[in-house]
Amino acid sequence: MRTPLWLVFLSLSVISPRLFADQIVLTNGDRLTGSITKSDSKTLLIKTDLAGDVTVQWPAVQQITSTQPLHVATQEGKTVVGTVTTSDSTLAVNTPTAGSVNVAKADVTALRDDAEETVYEKGLHPTLWQGWNGGGTVGFALTRGNSETKNLALAFTGDRKTSHDEISMYANTVYATNDLPGATPHVTANATQGGARYDRNFTKVIFGYGSADFQTDSLQMLNLRSVLGGGLGFHIINTSQTTLDLFTGVNYTRENYVGLSRNFAAATVGEELMHKLGATTVLTEKFYIFPDLSQTGQYRGAFNFGTITKISKWLGWQNAFGDIYVSNPPADPTTGLRPKQNDLQLTTGLNFSFTH
């Protein structure tokens, strides 16, 4: 009795996904079948038909069998391409040209399928306009009646990070007025900051940086402060969940106040922290001290703390606190009064994020 042709095709359509799928076996004996997407030596991602994307710990993977070519990156900086099978703690990569190449599991730094390899290679040398992430924040308050005030806060951040360098930019401004008749001062806040920094990795831990920062503050009688600096940084913690960088270097500061201009060299000492709180909130913190190298005991300090909580893919809620301290702000030439040394800013509002 001949088997109907349609039954043969139906059987193949049911069996072939299992025959031609990747498979991993875990140390506890569990098996997962699907399509291996990538691994970073810490976790492995496999796409399954029934459970969707499944992430498992790389040390828990005992065996791998792939029917698709995988790009196996090693600690020596080499990449071997082919289907993969495992025996004990060794990956056997069946390459189309060199035959079977054995790679110790402990030496594997990454696994990538063809699609992930394409994304990875593009990320190595992106154009200047690719790879940007950031967002803008808008906050506005208005009162009328017993009080008549208005307050506007705007902020922008942009960051482009690759495997070897990073460009970061920022700008923020706060403007507030007291509109009651005869109120003095009428303008109660008018400060703007902005700048950019370029980091270049020398090793996994050490990087060099160059920066340019600018600031105005009318209530401190500061027309413009320009700070050009550079030095070395150190990646103390560098994971997807937490980063902690330390900075040291020198800068050239030019300050133009009402009735006074001064230029001086200063040191730069600081740290920056980023930590992800769960899946939706990111915490950032920065602290810098700039000691004046020409006048011992004079310095400037800056502290920033903020959180961004995602509401949707492009919308979030941002809170930011900043304190800029100047040890020797010049006195008002007309009144002789000296401005306060601390300028505090607390803003909150909607954050609109972007990715390019």
Look at 16-20, 38-42, 334-338 and tell me which has the smallest mean pLDDT.
16-20
What is the predicted pLDDT for the residue at 12?
Answer: 39
pTM, full prediction: 0.71
- List pLDDT tens digits, range 66-96: 999 999 999 888 899 999 998 778 989 999 8
Nearest to 203 by CA among 233, 231, 230: 233
Strand 342-355 vs strand 315-326: parallel, antiparallel, or unpaired? antiparallel
CATH of domain 132-355: 2.40.160.40
How many whole angstroms separate alpha carbon 59 and alpha carbon 68?
A: 22
What is the predicted pLDDT for the residue at 356?
Answer: 64
- List pLDDT tens digits, range 117-151: 888 887 777 777 878 889 999 988 888 887 888 98
Domain boundaries, the chain: 5-123, 132-355
Strand 61-65 vs strand 90-95: parallel, antiparallel, or unpaired? unpaired
- List pLDDT tens digits, range 285-328: 999 999 999 888 899 999 999 999 999 988 999 999 999 898 88
Q: Above pLDDT 90, what percent of the chain?
A: 48
Give the mean pLDDT of 2-10.
Answer: 47
Nearest to 157 by CA among 169, 149, 166, 148: 169
What is the predicted pLDDT for the residue at 334?
Answer: 74
C-alpha distances in Å from residue 70, one per residue of 23, 82, 113, 136: 13, 5, 5, 39
How many whole angstroms separate alpha carbon 243 and alpha carbon 282?
A: 11
Asked whether 214 and 189 are in contact (CB, 8 A), the reply is no
